Amino acid sequence: MKINERFRFLRGKLELSQQDAASKFDIPVGSWKKYELGPSEPGSGALRNLAAGGVNIHWLLTGEGEMLTAALPPRPKPPADTKKTNEPAPEAAPIVASAHAEPRAKLDTAVLIEVFINVDEALAEHQLTLPQQQKAVLCQLVYEYATHTHTSVPTTVARFMLLLQ
């Protein structure tokens, strides 16, 4: 199954129209339609929104694992104003194992540190900056993908950087 077919499958399992699915995951309906048709693949923003909405991004990208995370976290609304404030940033979606996967006792901190370092280096190399919450979600996705697929962190970061360009 290709990624566009997984988008249709996801929407079907959630029993949503294209409009409702796009709204649920805060993705423009035109983009959602293109994802389902195949001429477009989701970028980092769409992947972040899908992950925050409980979609297993590893499944969406590869077809491996469970479609949804065990817990479907409520999707926080992005702040209307992107200027810096003294308010703490909303928390990123938690890293949650799928319902049928073996539960993870704890995070592998060595891998997590490697993810942070590699993401920082890649963002600097590409002269990109991300708000803290988006950077946290990117690190979460890289960690989850690298640990689930046993892909090296530098290779995983490079793949995700392609989505940011």
- CA 33 centroid distance within chain: 19
Q: Give the per-residue pLDDT at 79.
A: 53
143, 149, 151, 153: CA torsion to nearest 10 = 0
Q: Given this structure, which CATH class describes domain 1-71? A: mainly alpha
Residue 106 has a pLDDT of 63
For the chain, domain boundaries: 1-71, 106-165
C-alpha span between 119 and 127 (Å, rounded): 12
Q: What is the pLDDT of residue 33?
A: 92
pLDDT at residue 28, rounded to an integer: 92
- The reported pLDDT for the residue numbered 80 is 55
Spans in the chain with pLDDT lower than 50: 73-76, 82-85, 89-105
Residues ≥6 apart with Cβ < 8 Å to 61: 3, 145
